[in-house]
Chain A
Amino acid sequence: MIAKTWTQNEPLYLDYQATTPTDPRVVEAMAPYWTKKFGNPHSRNHHYGWEAEDAVEVARAQVASILNATSKEIIFTSGATESNNLAIKGVAKFYGDQKNHIITCITEHKCVLETCRALQQEGFDVTYLHVKENGLIDLDVLKAAITDKTLIVSIMAVNNEIGVIQPLAEIGRICREHKVFFHTDAAQAVGKIPLDVEAMNIDLLSVSGHKVYGPMGIGALYVRKKPRVRLVPLIHGGGQERGMRSGTLPTPLVVGLGMACELASKEMAAEAERLHGLQRKLFEGLKERIPEIYLNGDLDSRIPGNLNISFAYVEGEGLMMGIKDLAVSSGSACTSASLEPSYVLRALGVDVELAHTSLRLGLGRFTTEQDIDYAIERISTEVNRLRELSPLWDMAQAGIDLKSIKWAEH
């Protein structure tokens, strides 16, 4: 085993889709706003308020810039979950008496799916589009699903489990042609791929702070001005954020999100290229050392910081216990309370057996070449050890079709 000294014996972090560490430059930018520049950005009568307000407006411009939007179109929220709720419920409640049909996709994040379910309870019709084997939606299926009652299409930019990038520009064009609002949950996309709300005809877009090397507890929603998209707010109060989201803005967090977006804008191209190299190195290295592994989701239409791989015949949680010096996540049921394996992998048509054997490997800004070498070594050693322990591996080697056995499902 290679000695792992460079992480001070902390587990190696390979779970960048769960969260990202706050960039030290972001922390530095935030620092003065906790203590010295602590004013309420909504205080209109003194220096402290003006100072905080100025900082908030700089941040708003930084967030707008990475999306090719204008500052006035950015609403700060507590995170992408709130942004997604506000976008979909807000539009549904404003326009619901005219149009009552929502289109989304079965591989969306739970906060979009559950928002849609809640609206169904209130009488909205929701179509949940299926995805192709590679995780992408079929544009013809989308087109066919749109009716004259369709109000909004909500399709995520990048999937959180499998990292696939949906064809945003094409979806945007279809929505615009049919005069349907297009919302995208871009929590996993901001700073990873170029986004342009104009070129992509996006009307609403959700941003998360902690997925882009910013702080937790802050997010944003882009709400198009021309043509104007109107929302009923979820949170009522002092009318901040143009009445769409009341509550005092957390200046340090807002500043952090702004700085995170600015850094991402500047560094995205170079970082994407570097991560692409690491991603391919990891995938090739694993394939070379472990037979019968399967990539879940499209390889090419994918952010460079993600791999989701099924290691057939080795259960995901069992594997994670063996590689406990790597912080990764699994699509195995055993890691969740539900006992159902990942609904995203199932939606791709991945066999439930294979879904149990999947790992999500997330690479990011602080992942190094050395980390990848270590990960390849550790994962391949453990997979091969656990396969020696696996009755399924034995059976497969003996040419027994596992599907031919009548298993007692429990």
Chain B
Amino acid sequence: MAYSKELIDHYENPRNVGAMNDGDGDVGTGLVGAPACGDVMKLQIKVSADGIIEDAKFKTFGCGSAIASSSLVTEWVKGKTLDQAIEIKNTDIAEELALPPVKIHCSILAEDAIKAAISDYKAKMEAKKEAAE
């Protein structure tokens, strides 16, 4: 099976690898997948006061397609508003990396990771608001 150049580039030179402090109020963390299934993605976003994703970091346990998918979405979400980021579809990821059919689940997991990070951030905001009231 031959992988695309884009996929191999993201696998060999993954962008935005790292971790943010989950305790920070402006950080949202998404942890999706399961070790028993062979892939786990951790995606973190740092959101500015006006709702723009300023930074993103990831760490992934999984195959090359899973690593590349999560690397790609960290690039894509940066600079986007939460509403724009939530619109990223797994099909866009699969197309950009030319994922083979058996690897489509990696792109689905990456989409889930974005959604999980955003909802974690929003939950933190809610909790903060409630605490303030």
| Residues of A bordering B, CB below 8 Å | 313-315, 317-318, 321-322, 332-334, 337, 339, 341, 352-353, 356, 388-394, 402, 407-410
Contacts and interface: CB of A to CB of B under 8 A. Distances in A.
B109 to A, nearest CB: 7
| Residue among A317, A334, A352, A393 facing the most chain B CB atoms (10 A cut-off) | A334
Nearest to A341: B38
B66 A318 contact: yes
Contact of B63 (A318, A341, A388, A393): A318
Interface residues of B toward A: which range? 20 to 34
A396 B42 CA distance: 14
A391 B11 CA distance: 16
B49 interface: no
B94 to A, nearest CB: 16
Interface stretch (B26-34, B73-81, B121-129): B26-34
Given A391-B41, A407-B33, A408-B34, A317 B63 contact: yes
A402 B61 CA distance: 13
Given A390-B60, A407-B34, 15 more contacts: A313-B61, A314-B61, A315-B66, A318-B11, A318-B67, A321-B3, A321-B64, A332-B38, A341-B38, A353-B36, A389-B67, A390-B59, A390-B61, A392-B35, A394-B19
B85 interface: no
B22 to A, nearest CB: 11
A109 B60 CA distance: 33
24 contacts: A313-B61, A314-B61, A315-B38, A317-B38, A318-B66, A332-B38, A333-B38, A334-B39, A334-B62, A337-B102, A339-B37, A353-B36, A356-B36, A389-B17, A389-B67, A390-B59, A390-B60, A391-B42, A392-B40, A408-B32, A408-B33, A408-B34, A410-B33, A410-B37
A331 B61 CA distance: 16
Contacts, number: 82
Contacts of A313: 61
A333 B62 CA distance: 11
Contacts of A322: 11, 64
Contacts of B34: 407-410
Nearest to B34: A407
Contacts of B109: 410
Contacts of B14: 389
A402 B32 contact: no
Nearest to A354: B35
Given A321-B11, A389-B17, A356 B40 contact: no
A263 B102 CA distance: 42
A352 to B, nearest CB: 4
A72 B109 CA distance: 59
Contacts of B63: 315, 317-318, 321, 332, 334
A393 B42 CA distance: 12
| Residue among A393, A408, A409 facing the most chain B CB atoms (10 A cut-off) | A408
A353 B38 CA distance: 7
Contacts of B3: 321
B61 A391 contact: yes
Given A314-B61, A318-B64, A392-B61, A334 B38 contact: yes
| Residue among A313, A315, A337 facing the most chain B CB atoms (10 A cut-off) | A315
Contacts of B102: 337
A321 B97 CA distance: 15
Nearest to B63: A317
Given A391-B42, A394-B19, A315 B36 contact: no
A352 B36 CA distance: 5
Interface in B61-102: 61-64, 66-67, 102
A332 B37 CA distance: 10
Nearest to A356: B38
Contacts of B32: 408
B119 to A, nearest CB: 13
A54 to B, nearest CB: 46
Contacts of A332: 38, 63
Contacts of B19: 394
A391 B40 contact: yes
A337 B103 CA distance: 11
